[in-house]
Copies of this chain bind each other. A is one copy, B any other.
Amino acid sequence: MLKNDAAEQQNLQHALSDISDKLDRVMDELLPNQLPVANKVISLHSREEDHENGAEPEGEGKVIEAMRYSALGGGKRLRPFLTVESARLFGVNPEMAMLTAAALEFVHTYSLVHDDLPAMDNDDFRRGKPSCHKQFGEAAAILAGDALLTYAFEVLSHPRVHADPNVRCELIRSVARAAGVRGMVGGQMMDLDAEHKELTIDEVIRLQRLKTGEMFAVACEAGAILGKAPDPMRARLQRYAHDIGLAFQITDDLLDVEGTRTETGKGVKKDTAAGKATLISVLGVERAREQALTLAQQALNHISVFDARAEKLRALANFVVNRRS
């Protein structure tokens, strides 16, 4: 049953911020540092001082800085949360789950960096700070996105992610499919083409399924892949994630219509201004809100077979329809 239990939501917030902190440390460790090891010189002043002295990073250093700027210290980290919590259901080593989550977050970050580009959604702000291309220029942003995507696969191929190379190959294939032209990339192109165009409900749902749903689904599925869970369990988690993803997107659109920039950290009513079809524009606010509730309830049903270890995944179903930012 869907509910808005304050204690449960507080626990979820703690869990989300805990995962966010741990993920940041893992990503910080994984990401390359600004100076290539071979070129590193002993220095008595810090990187901050370099900046104060006006030393602008160049070449690969600039791309590395742009990668770190975009990946670290921000975001709700919902996808990593899904990976960690689905891995928990199958007793997966938390460190392996976190590395997988970091790789998925690199893919998610790359997609935000490229989506914000002037030729795409043209967003100047992301997570409350200037978007990557505003900070580092377009070329560095394109390359930082490319490098983050590439690095995600390097991480997933590493034995630390899982001792069994078949599991790593399966993670790589699943992530590549979800992120590719039949998934996130295809959804983004549909979204761009959808401006100032009438879409049917089915088309909007398909667009969202590709644009955000597939990555949500693979984030959840990753835990099952790491845990070598049987196919029906994987399928349940995928369906849960698709429902959560769509409910999340509807709430996003509702916040876009109702919200303020302070709450969401980006410009509001952008979608409305761009004339983009959303489930709200095709269903209206009230029916869209009902639809989100139905999806969240469906998501709960999909994971009803799991034990108490699914507690936080259940709390998330409540969160996505009750969130205010």
Chain A contact residues, CB within 8 Å of chain B = 32, 36, 58-60, 62-64, 67, 110, 114, 117, 119-120, 137-140, 142-143, 145-147, 149-151, 153-154, 156-159, 164-166, 168-170, 172-173, 176-177, 179-182, 185-190, 192-193, 207, 210
Taking a contact as CB atoms under 8 Å apart, the answer to whether B58 and A190 are in contact is: yes
Query: Contacts A119-B142, A157-B172, A169-B172 given; 11 further ones with Cβ under 8 A?
Result: A32-B182, A59-B190, A59-B207, A60-B182, A120-B142, A139-B192, A147-B186, A150-B176, A150-B180, A150-B181, A157-B169
Taking a contact as CB atoms under 8 Å apart, the answer to whether A153 and B181 are in contact is: no
Taking a contact as CB atoms under 8 Å apart, the answer to whether A157 and B140 are in contact is: no
Taking a contact as CB atoms under 8 Å apart, the answer to whether A180 and B165 are in contact is: no
A207: chain B residues at CB < 8 Å are: 59
Q: How far is the CA of A58 from the CA of B185 in the complex (A)?
A: 13
Taking a contact as CB atoms under 8 Å apart, the answer to whether A63 and B189 are in contact is: yes
Supposing A32-B181, A181-B60 touch, asked if A165 and B169 sit within 8 A by C-beta, the answer is yes
Q: How far is the CA of A153 from the CA of B54 in the complex (A)?
A: 39
Supposing A67-B181, A172-B172, A181-B32 touch, asked if A186 and B150 sit within 8 A by C-beta, the answer is no
Q: How far is the CA of A137 from the CA of B185 in the complex (A)?
A: 15
- Nearest B residue to A207 via CB reads B59
Copies per assembly: 2
A177: chain B residues at CB < 8 Å are: 154
Q: How far is the CA of A28 from the CA of B179 in the complex (A)?
A: 21
Q: How far is the CA of A176 from the CA of B137 in the complex (A)?
A: 24
Q: How far is the CA of A137 from the CA of B166 in the complex (A)?
A: 39
Supposing A58-B193, A193-B62 touch, asked if A172 and B143 sit within 8 A by C-beta, the answer is no
Can you offer 5 A-B residue contacts whose CB atoms are under 8 A?
A60-B182, A60-B210, A62-B193, A146-B149, A146-B185
